[in-house]
Structure 1
Amino acid sequence: MRDYYRDFLIRNWEKGDRTGAAAVISYVLSEYGLSWEPNGADRDVLQVEEYYLATGGEFWVIEHQNQVVGTGAYYPIHRGKKAVEIRKMYLLSSVRGLGLGKYLLQQLEAAIAARGFDEIWIETASVLVEAVKLYESKGYKPATEVETKRCDRVYVKFLI
């Protein structure tokens, strides 16, 4: 992946992005009163190769003026038929409200569809109001069985 949205570069994760991606996610979580869990829900950010690249997923970073300002990722899961979970879709507050989140979600969905997956799952927290509105506006339907402790919502979208 290498794409542009306005003057933002969306590209594949590289080893040198580990610290920047973790910082963005940790910061956004703290902004909403959620905890960074490097030994739990956020372990995947510190082990991108194992959780994403080795399983057939992708992890992208969003850059603006050579700084990581956002992330977005997905990997296959065993929750449904040919299913993936979109994870780590975070944008710093300074770049929210520009349509970047909508574009990022659209690009993730296109990549997922191109790889032949049929279902997309997303877990989130109600306090992430912008994310909840985005997912619901793009056809994600409420589901059950949240698996991540800090999340209280789960959504699914069927591509077929």
Structure 2
Amino acid sequence: MPPDFTLRPATQADCEAVRTLVFSVLADYDLRVDPKTTDADLFDLEGHYAQRGGCFDVVTDAAGQIIGSVGLQPQGEGLCELRKMYLHPQYRGLGIGKALLQHALTRATALGFTEVRLETAAVLKEAVRMYEKAGFERYEPEHCAARCDAAYRLRLPSDV
């Protein structure tokens, strides 16, 4: 993480700031917010992530404002979903997104996951490029969230 930024676990107190970040980025790309289903996790970060064996982390700037987020939500034996990886537009191009993704993959391995999946919208071109560059491969899931039109997965290296 660049020096003026901090990565830390999110708490329930961060829910509103994370929702503001995520919903504003979605609006920038004309993607629909869905607080009753796809985005319900943003109203209970601890319950949807840490309490289920995953994690949800935020990036803060020097003033302590949340400017980025990423979550790992368990989905079954060895499988997690990379969720809510968003970065405020003002902070893109500084290497924060790449550092955030690498952090998430390292945490996924440490938490015992062997595969990471994600759903995204093709309109999020920068994110799609970053995922593909990190080795994620496209696949066809049984179901995608309403605003998503692409799914990716990455098998994590095993520590044998």
Query: Structure 2 length normalisation: TM-score?
Result: 0.93
CA-CA distance at 1:137 after TM superposition: 0.5
5+ residue gaps, structure 1, are none
Distance 2:46 2:88 in 1: 23
- Equivalent of 1:72 in 70, 90, 101: 70
Q: Deviations over 1:95-131 (max 9, x none)?
A: 0111100000001100111122110001100011111
State the one-letter code of the partner of 1:60.
Answer: D
**AA of the residue aligned to 2:27:** S
SS of match in other structure, 1:113: helix
Give me the whole-angstrom Cα distance separating, in 2, the residues matched to 1:30 and 1:147: 19
Structure 2 residue aligned with 1:37: 34
SS of residue paired to 1:156: strand
Matched residue, 1:57: 54
Q: Give ranges in structure 2 of 5+ residues lacking alignment.
A: none
What are the residue-to-residue correspondences of 1:1-150 with 2, within 5 Å?
4-64=1-61, 65-78=63-76, 81-145=77-141, 146-150=143-147
CA distance in structure 2 between the aligned counterparts of 1:134 and 1:67, rounded to whole angstroms:
24
Given that 2:79 and 2:113 are in contact with CA atoms closer than 8 Å, whether structure 1 keeps it comes out as yes
SS in 2 for 1:5: coil
- Counterparts of 2:9 and 2:46 in 1: how far apart (Å)? 12
Stretch of structure 1 that moved more, 43-52 or 135-144: 43-52
RMSD after superposition = 1.1
Aligned residues: 155
Does structure 1 retain, via aligned residues, the 8 Å contact 2:136–2:154? yes
Greater alpha carbon shift after TM alignment, 146-155 vs 122-131: 146-155
What secondary structure sits across from 1:37 in the alignment?
coil
**1: CA distance, partners of 2:59 / 2:106:** 17
Sequence identity percentage: 35
